Each structure stands twice: as structure tokens, then as C-alpha cells.
Amino acid sequence: MTTWIITYNVDNNTHVLKVESEHRPELDEAVGLVTQKAEQEYEELEYEVDPGEEQTPAVLLSERFGITITGITEH
């Protein structure tokens, strides 16, 4: 099993989430893992859904918590 480091940015600070996986997490998988952590550790921001914008998991993470994924690397 390999340790993967998912880096993400919130409030102009870089944070890391370490995960164990046989394979490199895909972006959507990383977004899901960071969203789970954010739901436990961060306050949800007030946001409005823009009907003209595609609401991907990454967009929702950014709108709900102000978090962007910045990288996925092998430890």
C-alpha cells in the first residue's frame, strides 16, 4: 500500500491529507476525501449556486469551504 499526499489550499494556507491506497487517487476521489475532512473541520461558507456553472465536486468544495486541491503526490 502506498501513502499519497493530497495538498489543498484554504485561507491562503497549504494543508495536507495523507491517504493509503494501492493507486494514485483520481482528482474526484481526492476531492471527496478532502470534502469529508472539510465537513468535520471547517465551517461551511455562505454561497449561492450559479445555475449557469457546472457544479462539479471540485467547484462545490471551493464554494462550500473555499478549498482548492493543489496536488496529489506519492510519499
Local confidence pLDDT in tens for the 75 residues of the chain: 999 999 999 999 999 999 999 999 999 999 999 999 999 999 999 877 777 777 899 999 999 999 999 999 999
**What is the pLDDT, as a whole number, of residue 11?**
92
Residue with cell string 470534502: 35
Distance CA 42, CA 26 (A): 23
pTM of the model: 0.89
What is the spatial distance between Cα 29 and Cα 65, in angstroms, rounded to a whole number? 17
- What residue spans define the domains of the chain? 2-74
- Sign of the dihedral through C-alpha 24, 20, 15, 37: positive
Is the separation of the CB atoms in 1 and 27 below 8 Å?
Answer: no
